[in-house]
């Protein structure tokens, strides 16, 4: 049974649920593969680069969560109309969901939001974090385009096609990461396959030594973008059940209100979880110095009470509490 042929109104439950759920689970696992690939290759750049990713991801996660709530509305409305047999309304709702997708002002806000998470303006980690986050925000249309395609197809009952596109995106990201991050100088991939001579020739011809952390963001945006383009082509061609036309993208107040009414609570719920991750990152960033210093300061506190430098003990204690 193909997930595109699933009918949850036939009475049988277990088999259709598995057919729909397994591709979604695999897609979620492949989503993790994006981050693993980025971390693996960025780790070759240096500790500051990995730290920059750690600070950037909560902000990117927050962006995805806010928009993800509205893709839930698309899934719900498409599923409702398909179940009712209103195929024309399915196309209309799908088009409205795409038109409502928004671009975030992250390019301008990133330098101001990242210090709230724990970066220090003027440091290498802060600059790399801003670089990565801004690049991701530049490609936010493609990011949301891909998520919207997934949501609409899942509402239609097709979970395999989004999974295949996710696999394509992960494969592209894995291929692009080493070249965009490390370029053609000191790239261990060439040595691994015995092509050091080719690496030298490519570097001599291009002078490209990689984009570092920004290269990871570019690879993610490009791979998501290609997935979004393919997804939109499938939607407009009608080959996946939903067939869009330009008139479906013309906003209608009633449909937009339904999308917002259904999507806003989900958006708040998902963004709350993302804010929790962001707050945890900030707490860790601000507390790690105290965790490091406290074992070294405790012996000093223990030796100072009852001496002429009792005031120093108080200062040590204050230092620990401020750090923690």
CA distances from 172 to 143, 176, 180, 227, 297 (A): 15, 6, 12, 10, 50
Query: φ and ψ at 13, to 5 degrees?
Result: -115, -50
Q: How far is CA 54 from the centre of its chain?
A: 12
- Residue 99: per-residue pLDDT: 47
Cα(222)–Cα(68) distance, integer angstroms: 20
- The DSSP letter of residue 11 is S
* pLDDT for residue 212 is more than 80: yes
- Residue 67: per-residue pLDDT: 64
What's the pLDDT tens digit per position in 98-155? 544 444 556 677 787 788 777 888 888 889 988 898 888 877 777 777 777 777 787 7
Tokens 């980025």 belong to which residue? 38
**Segment among 104-118, 217-231, 248-262, 285-299 with least mean pLDDT:** 285-299
Q: Where are the alpha helices (DSSP H) in the chain?
A: 14-42, 47-83, 87-100, 106-117, 124-138, 140-156, 160-182, 188-192, 196-206, 213-237, 253-303, 310-323
- Residue 154: per-residue pLDDT: 75
- Residue 319: per-residue pLDDT: 57
| Mean pLDDT confidence for 26-42 | 82
Could you state, in order of their start, the residue ranges of all structural domains in the chain? 3-286
Which pLDDT band holds residue 323 (cuts at 50, 70, 90)? very low
For 108, counting Cβ atoms within 10 Å of its Cβ (0-12 exposed, 13-18 middle, 19+ buried), the class is exposed
Tokens 């409702």 belong to which residue? 80
What's the pLDDT tens digit per position in 157-182? 788 888 898 899 899 999 999 999 99
The residues, any chain, with a CB within 8 Å of residue 58's CB and separated by 6 or more, are: 117, 274, 277, 278, 281
Answer positive or negative: Cα dihedral of 228, 72, 34, 17. Answer: negative
- Specify the 3-state DSSP secondary structure of 212: coil
For 318, counting Cβ atoms within 10 Å of its Cβ (0-12 exposed, 13-18 middle, 19+ buried), the class is exposed
Who has greater pLDDT, 149 or 2?
149
For 276, counting Cβ atoms within 10 Å of its Cβ (0-12 exposed, 13-18 middle, 19+ buried), the class is exposed
What's the pLDDT tens digit per position in 46-99? 888 888 888 887 777 777 666 666 666 666 666 666 666 665 565 555 555 554
* pLDDT for residue 300 is more than 70: no
Cα(132)–Cα(146) distance, integer angstroms: 20
Q: Judge if pTM exceeds 0.75.
A: no
The upper half-sphere exposure of residue 169, i.e. CA atoms within 13 Å in the direction of its Cβ, equals: 33
* pLDDT for residue 31 is more than 70: yes
Angle (CA) 174-175-181 rounded to 5° is: 85
């Amino acid at each position: 049974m193909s997930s595109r042929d699933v009918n949850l109104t036939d009475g049988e439950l277990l088999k259709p649920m598995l057919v729909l759920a397994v591709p979604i689970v695999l897609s979620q696992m492949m989503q993790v593969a994006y981050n693993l690939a980025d971390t693996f290759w960025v780790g070759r750049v240096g500790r500051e680069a990995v730290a920059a990713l750690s600070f950037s991801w909560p902000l990117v996660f927050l962006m995805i969560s806010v928009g993800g709530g509205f893709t839930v509305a698309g899934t719900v409305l498409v599923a409702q109309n398909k179940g009712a047999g209103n195929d024309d309304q399915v196309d209309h709702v799908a088009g409205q969901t795409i038109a409502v997708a928004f671009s975030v002002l992250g390019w301008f806000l990133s330098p101001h939001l990242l210090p709230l998470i724990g970066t220090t303006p003027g440091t290498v980690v802060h600059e790399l974090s801003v670089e990565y986050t801004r690049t991701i925000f530049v490609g936010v249309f493609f990011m949301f385009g891909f998520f919207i395609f997934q949501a609409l197809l899942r509402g239609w009952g097709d979970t395999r096609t989004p999974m295949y596109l996710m696999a394509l995106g992960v494969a592209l990201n894995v291929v692009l990461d080493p070249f965009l991050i490390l370029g053609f100088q000191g790239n261990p991939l060439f040595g691994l396959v015995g092509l050091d001579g080719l690496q030298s020739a490519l570097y001599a011809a291009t002078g490209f030594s990689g984009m570092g952390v920004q290269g990871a963001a570019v690879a993610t945006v490009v791979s998501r973008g290609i997935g979004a383009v393919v997804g939109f082509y499938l939607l407009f061609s009608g080959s996946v059940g939903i067939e869009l036309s330009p008139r479906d993208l013309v906003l209608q107040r009633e449909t937009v209100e339904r999308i917002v009414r259904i999507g806003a609570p989900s958006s708040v719920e998902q963004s709350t979880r993302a804010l929790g991750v962001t707050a945890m990152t900030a707490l860790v960033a601000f507390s790690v110095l105290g965790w490091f210093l406290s074992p070294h300061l405790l012996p000093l506190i223990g030796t100072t009470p009852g001496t002429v430098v009792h005031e120093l003990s108080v200062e040590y204690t204050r230092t620990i509490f401020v750090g923690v």
